[in-house]
């Protein structure tokens, strides 16, 4: 049974705790970015297969680049919110005592990094990064910063002349092995595992809560509504990230 907690102030995360936070699109919603699976979310306006799979990119790269170009435009105008900032405060407090902090984010928007979070793994890639789409080209393994929008002429690799692609992880693609290893390592030895603003539908990260719990962590979901993997958490704090997180961080003792 998952316990429902209405008052985040009732939880105390000790200063010397080891904390892993997993965030999803919900934490950036109040910065003005769309989530995927809520009503009016990105998957209501676009078919996942068309814009977030390697097959979709092969079939219609212009469409995929329009999708990510439009998200680049939106992300440029957005600012980190009080939820992002509360996680920066938590990281600083834990690190200044004897605690540890790792933020694994599924978000590609870069808002955690812009807010000042330091120990961040962007496990689904980066919106403002581009790499070669040809897996035989060495530039397919090195992403470069790129905030340009491509509405008509698509970018090509200088080395092999194949199309460049956004440096994001699409369905059916492997996550970065080193990032996955680092995340799982931390998940298996943390005291607290906090998932924030994520529907718990996308694997492998939706399974991290089970690994954390099996290893003895206290597992907490802070989300607007129940996630698909709610049953795996000890506790659920319903609410908006900007309301819940500043209170959760304030209880660090």
Distance CA 165, CA 54 (A): 10
Bridge partners (DSSP) listed for residue 45: none
Q: How many Å is the maximal CA-CA distance in the chain?
A: 57
Among Zn ion, ligand BJW, none, what binds residue 115 when CB lies within 5 to 8 Å by partner kind? Answer: none
Distance CA 5, CA 34 (A): 26
Residue 86 backbone dihedrals phi, psi, to 5 degrees: -65, -35
| Interface characters, 135-154, with Zn ion (x: CB under 5 A) | --x-x---------------
Distance CA 36, CA 52 (A): 11
- Of 7-15, 20-28, 158-166, 245-253, which part binds Zn ion (CB under 5 A)? 158-166
Residue 174 backbone dihedrals phi, psi, to 5 degrees: -75, 145
Ramachandran sector of residue 121 (left: φ over 0; alpha: ψ -120 to 50; beta: rest): beta
CB of 40 or CB of 152, closer to ligand BJW: 40
Cβ atoms of residues 2 and 236 within 8 Å: yes
Cβ atoms of residues 101 and 91 within 8 Å: yes
Q: How far is the CB of 47 from ligand BJW (least distance, A)?
A: 12
- Of 7-15, 200-208, 210-218, 229-237, which part binds ligand BJW (CB under 6 A)? 200-208
Q: Is 124 a catalytic residue?
A: yes
Q: Which of 46, 84, 112, 124 is catalytic?
A: 124
Among ligand BJW, Zn ion, none, what binds residue 132 when CB lies within 5 to 8 Å by partner kind? Answer: Zn ion
Among 144, 173, 214, 216, binds ligand BJW (CB under 6 A): 173
Distance CA 127, CA 72 (A): 7
Among 13, 132, 220, 244, binds Zn ion (CB under 5 A): 132
Q: How far is the CB of 168 from Zn ion (least distance, A)?
A: 17
Q: How far is the CB of 88 from ligand BJW (least distance, A)?
A: 17
Interacting positions 3-62 with ligand BJW (CB under 6 A): 24-26, 29-30, 35-38, 41, 52
Interacting positions 61-120 with ligand BJW (CB under 6 A): 106, 108
**Angle CA(222)–CA(88)–CA(239) in degrees, nearest 5?**
20
Q: Which residues are catalytic?
A: 124
Binding-site ranges for Zn ion (CB under 5 A): 132, 134, 137, 139, 157, 159-160
């Amino acid at each position: 049974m998952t316990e429902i907690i209405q008052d985040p102030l009732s939880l105390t995360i000790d200063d010397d705790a080891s904390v892993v936070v997993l965030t999803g699109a919900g934490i950036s919603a109040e910065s003005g970015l769309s989530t995927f699976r809520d009503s009016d979310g990105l998957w209501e306006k676009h078919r996942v297969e068309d814009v977030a799979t390697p097959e979709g990119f092969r079939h219609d790269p212009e469409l995929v680049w329009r999708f990510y170009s439009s998200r680049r435009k939106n992300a440029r105008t957005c600012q980190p919110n009080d939820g992002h900032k509360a996680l920066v405060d938590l990281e600083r407090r834990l690190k200044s005592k004897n605690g540890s902090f790792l933020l694994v984010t599924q978000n590609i928007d870069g808002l955690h990094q812009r807010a000042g979070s330091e120990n961040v793994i962007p496990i689904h890639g980066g919106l403002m990064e581009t790499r070669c789409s040809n897996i035989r080209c060495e530039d397919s393994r090195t992403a470069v910063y790129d905030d340009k929008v491509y509405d008509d002429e698509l970018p090509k690799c200088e080395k092999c002349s194949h199309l460049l692609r956004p440096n994001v992880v699409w369905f059916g693609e492997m996550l970065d092995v080193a990032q996955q290893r680092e995340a799982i390592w931390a998940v298996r030895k943390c005291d607290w595992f906090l998932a924030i603003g994520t529907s718990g539908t996308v694997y492998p990260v939706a399974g991290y809560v089970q690994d954390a719990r099996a290893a003895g962590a206290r597992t907490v979901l802070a989300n607007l509504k129940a996630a698909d993997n709610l049953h795996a958490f000890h506790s659920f704090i319903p609410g908006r990230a900007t309301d819940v997180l500043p209170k959760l961080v304030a209880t660090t003792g």
